Structure 1
Amino acid sequence: MTLISRRSALVGATGLLLSGCEKITTAPAVRKVLTAGEKAMLSGQRLVTDRNALAPEFTRADLSPRFRMNGNRLPGSADYQAHMANGFADWKLEIGGRVARPFSMTLAQLKSAPQRTQITRHDCVEGWSAIGEWTGVPLGLILRQAQILPSAQYVIFHCADDFSGTPYYESIDMIDAMHPQTILAHTMNRQPLPVGHGAPVRLRVERALGYKQAKYVMKIEAVDTLAGIHGGGGGYWEDHSGYQWFAGI
């Protein structure tokens, strides 16, 4: 008998649901039921799972020879094009929202901060996986520096890319935001993060499916609630295609 991991089972099952049932899951009544079920699942998982439990890590011998690019591959905005043209020398990451000390960081400042390197598996909702090496700054370090307020429950990632003019964004809760493997990665496989993979900085939240790994991150915002932010679902795909917000694996 072949045993499969919970991570593999969820990737396969979610891929089938999203490829075959998108029209059903975007119906308001169905989405309301799914959202209620997701909240119950999240609460249950938080109760039985160590909040600091690590996703599996691998060695360089395990690196995938090809790591597919998911989502957008090149933001079309004039601002992003200008940043790309000068090697992101003038790019700045904004940190704000429900924090006592909003600030911004250049790419050079991010690279000079304490770093974490991890070799992990990216599990795409479409059913494929790849192993890559990521180096970046722990998100928790940045949030602590910004002095997040006690009321903040979520972190929003505002990105440079869009779909047909609709801005791309994603979000995670504070438990995942403070997890030791959640980093803002600027390096992939010991090379500067390629544009197709989200340069200059992308999110890596290793206990979640691939669509939570926001690329082209421009601004981080701590918020009390997801309501009123774009469609209120917590992310572009959650708003427009009924994807689950939690996406934990």
Structure 2
Amino acid sequence: MLIRPSRRRLLLGSAATAATALLGGCDALVDNDHVSRVIASAEGLTKAAQRAVLSDTKLAREFTQTDLSPVFKANGTQQPEGEAYAELVETRFANWRLRVDGKVVKPLELSLAELKSLPARTQITRHDCVEGWSAIGQWTGVPLGLVLKAAGLTSDARFVVFHCADEYEKTLDGSGQYYESIDLVDAFHPQTILAYAMNGQELPVAHGAPLRLRVERQLGYKHAKYVMRIEAVDSLAPIGRGKGGFWEDRGYEWYAGI
């Protein structure tokens, strides 16, 4: 059964509430193997259903300048902690470099200027948050597929992982560092971009400067901010807690299609 977007947001809103409770100490549910298998099975059905009715290049709806939201909430981290990021902000990211490595033929290190020199895409889309709010914004950036093609994926690459500057939760094992991942279908989708501008201006720090992911056919928590490194991998199991993202490690769905 295909879940309607409005119904899906309601269901995911309930999932978000549950995940918040898990972070409060009720993680026994997620650790239950049977429950985890049921959740994974339902997620697989949703992904398969959406992929069955949408082509790999089907676009999310795009809007016009007159549709831009007067307020676009900055969710999650507002600015990563630490001197290293503070120095990047102070120097306007002159020394920032995006690393592209892992299952690639040619690892890359790209400056912000080099990214901006590549062919860009501008799109006005709606951001749907798992918390239940939406906003329309304009994003400009380089298509992720162009960067991946420049690096050259190896034949065993299956996923793309985005390692971010913000440590969202203090943990002893280092699993609190924010990260996200998508598969190659979404990585090469024409609306999946590495955005460096928002609403015609430089991307604000609160929205993920200098670079954030926009993957327009998925919910907001997939749109990783403060991207520092892109890693192509054959498996998500060795990264974080093995579920494919910071929030996924804490009970959210890995595939958050809308």
Query: Hey, what's the Cα distance between the residues in 2 that align with 1:96 and 1:10?
Result: 34
2:256 is matched with 247
Name the CA distance, whole Å, in 1 between partners of 2:198 and 2:5.
23
What 5-or-longer segments of structure 2 have no aligned partner? 171-175
Q: Secondary structure at the match of 2:104?
A: coil
> Which letter maps to 2:67?
D
| 2:74 aligned to which of 62, 69, 72 | 69
Name the residue aligned to 2:112. Answer: 107
1:124 aligns with 2:124: no
Instruction: Kindly indicate whether residue 247 of structure 2 is the aligned counterpart of residue 237 of structure 1.
Output: yes
2:162 maps to which residue?
157
Counterpart in the other structure of 1:200 = 210
Decide whether the 8 Å contact of 1:91 with 1:106 is kept in 2: yes
Contact kept? 1:203, 1:217, Cα under 8 Å: yes
Partner Cα distance (1:102, 1:191) in 2: 29
Does 1:28 find its partner at 2:32?
yes
Q: For 2:136 and 2:7, locate their aligned partners in 1 and report how far apart those are by CA, in whole Å.
A: 18
Aligned length: 244
Looking at structure 1, the residues matched to 38 and 199 of structure 2 have their Cα atoms a distance apart, in angstroms, of 41
Q: Given the alignment, which residue of 43, 57, 65 partners 2:62?
A: 57
Q: Secondary structure at the residue paired with 1:160?
A: strand
Q: What is the aligned partner in structure 1 of residue 173 from structure 2?
A: none
* 1:120 partner letter: T
Match of residue 210 from structure 1: 220
Letter in 2 for 1:230: G
Aligned residue identity for 2:8? L
CA distance in 2, matches of 1:26, 1:147: 37
List 4+ stretches of structure 1 deviating above 4 A.
Answer: none
- State how far apart, in whole Å, the 2-side matches of 1:65 and 1:48 are: 33
- Local SS of the residue matching 1:236: coil
TM-score by length of 1: 0.94
SS at match of 2:16: helix
Residue 41 of structure 1: aligned partner: 46
After superposition, the CA RMSD in angstroms is 1.5
Query: Residue 87 of structure 1 aligns to which amino acid in structure 2?
Result: R
2:93 to 88, 92, 100: 88
- SS of the equivalent of 1:70 reads coil
Deviations 1:162-194 (A, max 9, x none): 123321000000000000000000000000000
Contact persistence 1:184–1:201 (CA under 8 A):
yes
**SS of residue paired to 2:70:** coil
**Seq. identity, %:** 53
Equivalent residue for 2:149?
A: 144
C-alpha separation between the residues in 2 aligned to 1:43 and 1:140?
22
Structure 2 length normalisation: TM-score? 0.91
